[in-house]
Amino acid sequence: MMSAAPRHAHDAHRDPYTAESVADPIADRTARPDRRRVLGGALATAGLALLGPALAGCTDDGTAAAGAGGGARTPTGRAPRSTPPAHGRPSPTEAWARLAAGNRLWVAGRPQHPHQSTERRWEVSAEQHPFATVVSCIDSRVPPEAVFDQGIGDLFVIRTGGESLDDLVIGSVEYGPVQDDVPLIVVLGHQRCGAVRAAIDAIDNGRSLPGHLDRVADALRPAVADAHRRGGDLTDQTVRAHVSRTVAVLERDPALTDRVRRGRLGLVGAYYELDTGRVSVLETSGVRV
């Protein structure tokens, strides 16, 4: 089934790329009253504001939040050093410059592997202040911390097949900017993407993919259509079109768009070349590169 039709209309979500309805996989497995109780109770009542300190272990005033593991102290009992407070954040352009510099080291074969020591683990154990959010593919050859030469506590990373979005993924992307004032979101597509190739094969040949893989193909369908119109290498053009569409979805996201307009958040759409390790900018919003 390649159709994006919802399995239960009352549990439908909106596909961010097509505005069509798609079924909720959680609701599919849960009776409606239970779903209302579970999701309504856990998410609507608690809200992201309460999820923030619990998940990130950080507060705006720099006070260490007590995590489930009591991680406010290092194993030696010393209070961990504090990372710079939120008001010391880089601008979107500065944040991109850091990532670009890291990528240059990666390309040159001279990665520094920063922030991967035991001391760094202690330093960020009680609070974190990543300076960028990266939305990338699940591909094993494209780990964002490696290709941008960053370490623990530097990046929020969201990885899905073909760096595709749905409501749940968008919520995770929103988390950094909304809860922790992260100044930059990077959407990173890549060369020879297997998810894109599988989607093209399924869409163009009218074949279904097993399990939930159809969801990935459905998310990529508009970009595949773009690529057919553009011509050239179909996989590569689909990757580039999909990065652009994904940036556009995030740029107009209600939780993010005002931050972009006020210069507090920038977006970069980029392409990673497996052969060289180089990240190339495809487009930007609120960032000078």
What are the residues binding Zn ion (CB under 5 A)? 137, 139, 193, 195
**To the nearest whole angstrom, how small is the minimum distance from the Cβ of residue 122 to Zn ion?**
34
Q: Confirm or deny that 190 is annotated as ligand binding.
A: yes
Tokens 């074949």 appear where?
207
Query: Which residues neighbour 16 within 8 Å (Cβ) at sequence distance 6 or greater?
Result: 165, 166, 167, 170, 249
Q: Which helix (H) or strand (E) holds 284?
A: strand 279-285
Which token pair is 180?
């922790």
Q: Pick between residue 58 and residue 135 the one whose CB is nearest to Zn ion.
A: 135
137-141: Cβ within 8 A, 24+ apart = 137/161, 137/162, 137/163, 137/188, 137/189, 137/190, 137/193, 137/195, 138/195, 139/190, 139/193, 139/194, 139/195, 141/190, 141/274
Q: What is the dihedral of CA 45, 172, 238, 198, to 10 degrees?
A: -80
Please say whether the beta carbons of 176 and 126 come within 8 A: no
**To the nearest whole angstrom, how small is the minimum distance from the Cβ of residue 267 to Zn ion?**
20
Which token pair is 79?
């209070």
Q: Pick between residue 55 and residue 213 the one whose CB is nearest to Zn ion.
A: 213
Write the CA distances from 243 to 133, 151, 182, 281, integer angstroms: 15, 24, 20, 10
Strands annotated E in 145-247: 155-160, 184-190
Q: Which helix (H) or strand (E) holds 240?
A: helix 234-251
**To the nearest whole angstrom, how small is the minimum distance from the Cβ of residue 195 to Zn ion?**
5
Q: Confirm or deny that 137 is annotated as ligand binding.
A: yes
> Which residue positions form the known binding site for Zn(2+)?
137, 139, 190, 193
